[in-house]
Chains A and B, each alone.
Chain A
Amino acid sequence: MAHELPYIAAIVEAIQLEMERDESVLYFGQNMATTENEPFVDAFGKDRVRVTPISETAEIGIAVGAALAGFRPVVELYMAEFMLVAMDQVLNEAPRFRGMSGGQVKVPIVLKAGYGFTAGWAGQHTGTLTGLFMGVPGLKVAVPSTAADAKGLMATAIRDDNPVVYLHHYLLTLEHGEVPDGEHLVPFGEAAVRREGSDVTLVGTGWTVDRALGAAERLAEEGIQAEVIDPRTIAPLDTRTILESVEKTGHLVLVDQATRHASVSTVIAGEVAEHGFGSLEAPIVQVTGLDATIPYSEPLEAYVLPDEDKVVAAVRGVLGTAPVTA
């Protein structure tokens, strides 16, 4: 059975279910749990649900220490950029301990943060900083694009024995979707094929999955069948599903909101160029954010981001139905 929920509520449902299931799950962050009436405090008490000062380094460091001591903290960070003031903890403490200790310890924490809020939030609250996290061995990175996956990936993240950066896309916050009732786990490292097609493979993550699907609908009107793949986690990254799709379609267009040189699309392009070159009938094209700080001004913000028009144009280019202009 399923029920309809907004994406953000699906995440909350997963945290709530996991906290009911496992007493070692803690939840803390800024601006939360300040009154006894808040549902999480009411359900789980102020020992397990805590408000913190604006101290990201301490918040994440405490989570790592508590995880080393057997707890499973979820840190509410609100915005991915807020992790930037705590980079030592995120990139150099949490993911290193297992390896550096020779496997003696584990760090099961979830760093929950929104990202990509390109709705006039300008340069410091809009980044798609996936490249920072996915390149650090030991970290897992989840980027749900649907309400169902938002729930299932959060539940899996909490149960995972490794540090997980769980990035929920702010532009999807109120998008509704069918969410399975009760326990729902989405495995890490397994891409979802959102639309099947035979002519071209589109890969998107988070908000760009819908951009790719929108483009695919328009291309279908031209007789072009696009397959749309959503990796769902970018570390681990399911390159096999992408390679199998490219083997079938012979064409690959990657859609990513991140700046090009820090995008998952660049990593996928590299993997497919190396391992799927024989399948490619045309060069890979990447439709990414431009290498620029997101501008405040609305037309300029749109200019630097990928959109359906750019995806459609790129597909026409790789299929030879229009000149390549990238």
Chain B
Amino acid sequence: MGTLDGGQAARLLSVMWSIRLFEERVGQLTRAGEVDGLIHLSIGQEGVAAGVCAQLRDDDHVYSGHRAHGHALAKGASPERVMAELMGRDTGLCRGLGGSMHLVDAEHGFMGATGVVGGNVPLALGSALASRLGGSDAVAVVFFGDGAVQAGHFVETVNLAALWALPLVLVCENNGYAEFTPRSAHTVVERVSDVVAPYGIERATVDGNDVSEVWEAFARFLAAARAGGGPFLLECLTHRVRGHYEGDPGRYREALAEAEWREKDPILRLERQGRAAGWFDEEALGGIAAAAADGVESAVRFARESPFPPAELTGQMVYADG
């Protein structure tokens, strides 16, 4: 906890590169028709997933939404099994039945991504309640976008989380767009952290593209939640490089200029910070990116070689027996 050190920075860089290259590859495979279905990429937002999930244990439950690949990977899901899931294969995390928007990796405490904006927020509070009732110091974390904040689920959950003082950390990835709609067109409240102010929830707004800021703010909330505090809200201001979904023509906004994006890019920023701090040299940086690239290609090979699930699986999955 506290401020980042060189070892932690290297780990975060590795996680961010893995997500970045994974997402870029998924984008290519979507255009090539190898990944079928509705895909939302998190390129540009890797700093939030990495800064938060790298500090969690397997028994800390994490929930995500439709833009879930990065959160699942950062929480420990195998890239092979996530890629296989996106290709609808039997070896996928969810045996090909969930896909991009519904990733679940219970073994690593990634309890699930839901495709309806905001529907995941009360679920995470359920995990927080379970942790408290079970006498554990595990925390629950839910990722959602600024668009989810205007949904009723959000306020209902914030109210109950505060009333019951449960160990929940609400992590808002505020990328300024609710799907295709700019924040200015759907609310008068600029900061999500201000929305929860009347509930007395401890909250912070940080630059979500600076992974060290995310890390430090989340570390503080995590320690407090483990010690019996909660809930908390961490608003991470970030930038979604791709459209809402792959194929989005993006007519509602201008792309960032290349130079401006290089300033904001959470990976390049951590690399600059690390060079300045003496955490890593060019060779180490190259090694981290190359290892991430190898991991992604290995995931693609694994997915391509995996069979599709058998048809009878659909019937077997309707009810849990016993």
- Name A's B-contacting residues (CB within 8 A): 26, 47-48, 50, 52-53, 55, 57-58, 60-71, 73, 88-89, 92-93, 96-106, 108, 137-138, 140, 161-162
Contact = CB atoms under 8 A, between A and B. Distances in A.
Given A101-B94, A101-B104, A101-B106, A65 B122 contact: yes
Interface string B78-115: 00000000000000111111100010111100011010
- Closest 7 A-B residue pairs measured CB to CB? A65-B126, A61-B122, A102-B95, A69-B130, A58-B156, A101-B104, A102-B94
Nearest to A51: B163
Contacts of A106: 320
17 contacts: A47-B133, A57-B122, A58-B122, A58-B125, A61-B119, A61-B125, A65-B140, A66-B127, A66-B129, A71-B129, A73-B126, A93-B114, A98-B320, A102-B92, A102-B93, A104-B107, A138-B318
Given A62-B126, A92-B116, A98 B317 contact: yes
Contacts of A98: 317-320
Most A C-beta atoms less than 10 A away, residue of B61, B140, B153: B153
Given A65-B127, A96-B102, A161-B322, 20 more contacts: A58-B156, A58-B160, A62-B125, A62-B129, A62-B160, A63-B126, A64-B126, A65-B124, A65-B130, A68-B126, A69-B130, A70-B130, A71-B130, A97-B104, A100-B94, A103-B95, A104-B105, A105-B106, A108-B320, A137-B318
Interface in B41-55: none
Given A57-B153, A103-B95, A93 B317 contact: no
B319 A138 contact: yes
Contacts of B278: none
A100 B94 CA distance: 7
Most A C-beta atoms less than 10 A away, residue of B125, B130, B317: B130
A68 B94 contact: no
B251 to A, nearest CB: 29
Contacts of B104: 97, 100-102, 104-105
Most B C-beta atoms less than 10 A away, residue of A65, A93, A105, A162: A65
B30 interface: no
B57 to A, nearest CB: 14
B76 to A, nearest CB: 14
A96 B96 CA distance: 14
Contacts of A58: 122, 125, 153, 156-157, 159-160
Interface string B196-216: 000000000000000000000
A314 B133 CA distance: 55
Contact of B122 (A26, A60, A100): A60
A246 to B, nearest CB: 26
A164 B8 CA distance: 45
Interface residues of B, number: 50
A70 B134 contact: yes
A102 B128 CA distance: 24
Contact of B131 (A61, A69, A100): A69
A64 B123 contact: yes
B254 interface: no
B260 interface: no
B15 interface: no
A97 B110 CA distance: 13
A108 B123 CA distance: 14
Contacts of A88: 116, 119, 153
Most B C-beta atoms less than 10 A away, residue of A62, A63, A67: A62
Contacts of B63: 65
A162 B322 CA distance: 9
B93 to A, nearest CB: 7
B111 A105 contact: yes
Contacts of B116: 88, 92-93
Contacts of B114: 93
B39 interface: no
B249 interface: no
Given A88-B116, A93-B119, A99 B318 contact: yes
A66 B121 contact: no
Contacts of B130: 65-66, 69-71
A64 B125 CA distance: 10
Contacts of B126: 61-69, 73
Contacts of A97: 104, 112
Contacts of B286: none
B316 interface: yes
Nearest to B101: A100
